[in-house]
Structure 1
């Protein structure tokens, strides 16, 4: 978002730095709230929560890209990161609910590795897409939306049986 806000929306670096800290804060809030909801009120519905929340992320990514003002971009991005935080909390709570105690560490390690690979590749892929399409950010937003679609597909395929061992997962 920082290059988009500076290059496409005309913000200066100081304003961009201050404004982009707001969605980081709302992401943290979403993670905390999501953890509490998954732990209590919405336990057992994680699969469906991840799907609905990911659909909301897709909607908000679309709204971010089409927002007519910087104020709306930051508002939609803040809402988007809240739902991202809720999905994040759900994903990290699931191993504790479905894997045996002996396999939770490995399961969380694999989930974290996947997230780290995504965090490593995403900026490069987005930069490549923006450069390939002559500075257009449309392809980068489409890429983000496709990543959220992959989250939905992964959630649909979740096996919610309790007591799984890592050996029962098909790698």
Structure 2
């Protein structure tokens, strides 16, 4: 992992972030979405203080993580939903783990007590990554949506902060 660093995401990262997002979508097991959004839509839907990119030694973005609020209600102010995507060519180098470590530290420092996500059961690498990062399986939403003409289940994961009471 010495060749991977994490830094805040900026608008200059847009092309790489969206290309990595699209590569994940093209793989078929990352999201119900099939086309990455525009940068304007991506930017508007994610909290600015909790977006990070993993970069290699040439400062090329190889992965990203970002969060969205789960609700506008004040009671859920400390709950976010996250996404993490790694360039297929960079998978297995520790970028996902580093991104989640930085995200967890940043969200806890901001008083966020729960990070949640939904992952397709077929995405074994993502499930293992999240469990190593302290996420637990909450349950499975069976046949929650259709994707490429077939029903898909989603495994719900969450990480509750042990430091925020």
Q: What interval of TM-score do these two structures reach, taking the shorter chain for normalisation?
A: under 0.3
Task: Give the TM-score, by structure 1 length.
Answer: 0.24
Structure possessing the higher relative contact order (Cα contacts under 8 Å, 6 or more residues apart): 1
Relative to total residues, which structure has the larger helix share, 1 or 2?
1
Q: Compare CA radii of gyration and give the structure with the larger one.
A: 1
